[in-house]
Amino acid sequence: MADLSQEEWTKKLEADTNAVVLDVRTQDEVDQGIIPNAIHIDIFKGQGFIYEVEKLDKSKNYYVYCRSGNRSGQACAIMNQLDIENAYNLEGGFSEWQGEVAFME
């Protein structure tokens, strides 16, 4: 797991052809906007979160964020324990995100 600044995270993501963006916030938070093309798995689902993460492609690189960077840091640690080697935590999270924002349908 690596904690990356907004700039590092964005640069790495843009250059990564094997990237998946993962939003681990609650549904209420997701309704306020997401980073484009992110998949959503709420870390507060507990065991449900683990089940969902276990279904993910372990060969991909995951760019993980939450509101402030705390839950996504926890999510990255869990993902590492589940044999997902490349999980990158967005420091400052969505609350400091400077990039594009999308809204779920």
Question: How much is the pTM?
Answer: 0.96
Q: What is the predicted pLDDT for the residue at 9?
A: 96
Q: What is the predicted pLDDT for the residue at 104?
A: 74
DSSP character string of 39-104: EE--GGGTHHHHHHHHTS-TTSEEEEE-SSSHHHHHHHHHHHHTT---EEEETTTGGG--S--B--
What digits encode the pLDDT tens for the residues 62-72? 999 999 999 99
Q: Both ends of the chain: CA-CA distance in Å?
A: 31
The active-site residue, picked from 66, 76, 79, 84, is: 66
Q: What is the predicted pLDDT for the residue at 1?
A: 79
- In the chain the domains, ranked by start, together with CATH numbers, are 2-96 (3.40.250.10)
What digits encode the pLDDT tens for the residues 20-72? 999 999 999 999 999 999 999 999 999 999 999 999 999 999 999 999 999 99
- Is 105 a residue whose pLDDT tops 90? no
In DSSP terms, 19 is beta-bridged to 61
What digits encode the pLDDT tens for the residues 88-99? 999 999 999 999
Q: Is 76 a catalytic residue?
A: no
